[in-house]
């Protein structure tokens, strides 16, 4: 898993940065990527990356402010022209379905793949055998949600030496053991998976928050996460402005990382007053006084999701 930021600015785009969107690249895990928010010109940013819209599987929208959704109708329309034929599911707050349907209907856009829009008000919004996505309401001017993506633990690797000692050769029995099944051997022995499997491989946790003031639900979603993506619209000297606009400062983001016990923090959603990466350095340094393992989101740069033991 890797995160690729497609937009890191708050409110409006600037010459240096686009508005909010990020891709969770999951090509090793499921040969797809998921998109979180879709601000204006997100599809242009995708064209500048190695991502292909045909591989887009899911879109998660945090809230319905324009800098997080104005790129969605165009992206949905363009996906079919870029080889997208598989089902695409879009998740987000109530009102999202109307926005998508009205935009596509009035523009007479033709969607030639299966498109499903699922509205939610928090809770478990997606689950399969490999991942769970949970959501909680944050504290913003409109309903804004954070997402907690949990990779489920996987069985440990098979001990080939031990399997050979039991007289087993590669074949279907290996798969049965990996699935947790007990095997009856020809000599009457019973072989349990734990006899030949290494320690389970712990799944990773990624938390991606929408716009928010400091709140309890942000910490709950980020609890013990391997990676937390948190807005940091302002430096802490503008904490009153942050509060009035329902946003966070760099220090407040770092405080949440400490309280939640996360491994790594990436700051994003920067005010356009901070023109470029050089002007963002003080914001980063400020956060690092509270939580050292903090990074700045940079557009079209890959951030691996490390597996912490």
Question: Per-residue confidence of the chain (309 residues) as pLDDT tens digits?
Answer: 999 999 999 999 999 999 999 999 999 999 999 999 999 999 999 999 999 999 999 999 999 999 999 999 999 999 988 889 999 999 999 999 999 999 999 999 989 999 999 999 999 999 999 999 999 999 999 999 999 999 998 877 888 888 888 888 788 888 888 777 888 887 888 888 888 887 778 899 999 999 999 999 999 999 999 999 999 999 999 999 999 999 999 999 999 999 999 999 999 999 999 988 889 999 999 999 999 999 999 999 999 999 886
Distance between CA atoms of 300 and 22, rounded to whole angstroms? 9
Question: Is 236 one of the annotated binding-site residues?
Answer: no
- Is residue 213 a contact partner of residue 140, using CB atoms and an 8 Å limit? yes
CATH number of residue 267's parent domain: 3.60.15.10
Question: Is 269 one of the annotated binding-site residues?
Answer: yes
Domain contains 309: no
Q: Is 143 helix (H, G, I), strand (E, B) or coil?
A: coil
Residue 302: alpha-carbon gap to chain centroid:
13
Q: Is 274 helix (H, G, I), strand (E, B) or coil?
A: coil
Residue 101's pLDDT is 97
Same domain assignment for residues 174 and 142: no
Only one residue has tokens 């999202």, namely: 96
CA nearest neighbour of 88 among 113, 108, 105, 107: 113
Same domain assignment for residues 89 and 124: yes
Same domain assignment for residues 54 and 145: yes
Same domain assignment for residues 96 and 179: no
Same domain assignment for residues 177 and 39: no
* Structural domain of 104: 2-153+202-304
Domain contains 63: yes
Distance between CA atoms of 309 and 306, rounded to whole angstroms? 10
Question: Is 120 one of the annotated binding-site residues?
Answer: no
Residue 154: alpha-carbon gap to chain centroid:
20
Only one residue has tokens 């980020």, namely: 222
Same domain assignment for residues 113 and 235: yes
Phi/psi at 108 (nearest 5 deg)? 50, 40
Question: Is 246 one of the annotated binding-site residues?
Answer: no
Same domain assignment for residues 149 and 9: yes
Domain contains 119: yes
Q: Which residues pair with 208 in a beta bridge?
A: 147, 229
Residue 172's pLDDT is 85
Number of helices followed by number of strands (H, E) in the chain: 12, 16
Same domain assignment for residues 145 and 164: no
Same domain assignment for residues 256 and 218: yes
Question: Is 230 one of the annotated binding-site residues?
Answer: no
Distance between CA atoms of 125 and 118, rounded to whole angstroms? 9
Domain contains 258: yes
Known active-site residue 67: yes
Domain contains 149: yes
Same domain assignment for residues 133 and 190: no
Domain contains 111: yes
Cβ neighbours, 10 Å, residue 253: 31
The helix or strand, by DSSP H or E, that contains position 35, with its residue range, turns out to be: strand 32-36
pTM of the entire predicted model: 0.90
Q: In the chain, how many domains are there?
A: 2
Residue 36's pLDDT is 98
Same domain assignment for residues 18 and 94: yes
Same domain assignment for residues 137 and 239: yes
Domain contains 270: yes
How does 26-62 read in b/e, with b if 16+ C-beta sit within 10 Å? beeeeeebbbbbbbbbbbebbeebebebebbebbbbb
Q: Which of 67, 143, 159, 195 is catalytic?
A: 67
């Amino acid at each position: 898993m890797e995160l690729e930021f497609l937009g890191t600015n708050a409110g409006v785009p600037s010459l240096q940065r686009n508005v909010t969107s990020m891709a969770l690249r999951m090509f090793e895990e499921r040969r797809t990527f998921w998109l979180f928010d879709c601000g204006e010109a997100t599809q242009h940013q995708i064209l500048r990356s190695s991502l292909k819209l045909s591989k887009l599987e899911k879109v998660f929208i945090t809230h319905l402010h324009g800098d997080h959704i104005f790129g969605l109708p165009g992206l949905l329309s363009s996906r079919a022209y870029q080889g997208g034929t598989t089902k695409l599911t879009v998740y987000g707050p109530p009102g999202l379905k109307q926005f998508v349907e009205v935009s596509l209907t009035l523009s007479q856009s033709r969607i030639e793949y299966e498109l499903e829009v699922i509205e939610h008000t928090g809770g478990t919004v997606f689950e399969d055998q490999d991942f769970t996505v949970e959501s909680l309401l944050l504290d913003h001017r409109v309903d804004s949600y954070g997402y907690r993506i949990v990779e489920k633990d996987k069985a440990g690797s098979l001990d080939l030496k031990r399997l050979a000692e039991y007289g087993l050769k590669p074949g279907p029995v290996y798969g049965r053991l990996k699935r947790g099944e007990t095997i009856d051997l020809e000599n009457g022995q019973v072989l349990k998976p734990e006899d030949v499997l290494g320690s389970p491989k712990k799944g990773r946790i990624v938390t991606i928050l929408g716009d928010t003031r400091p709140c309890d639900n942000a910490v709950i979603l980020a609890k013990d996460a391997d990676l937390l993506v948190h807005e940091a619209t302002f430096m802490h000297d503008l904490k009153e402005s942050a509060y009035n606009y329902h946003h966070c400062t760099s220090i407040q983001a770092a405080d949440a990382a400490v309280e939640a016990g996360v491994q790594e923090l990436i700051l994003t959603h920067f005010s356009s007053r901070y023109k470029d990466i050089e002007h963002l350095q003080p914001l980063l340094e400020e956060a690092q006084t509270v939580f050292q393992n903090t990074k700045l989101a940079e557009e079209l740069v890959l951030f691996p999701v490390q597996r912490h033991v």
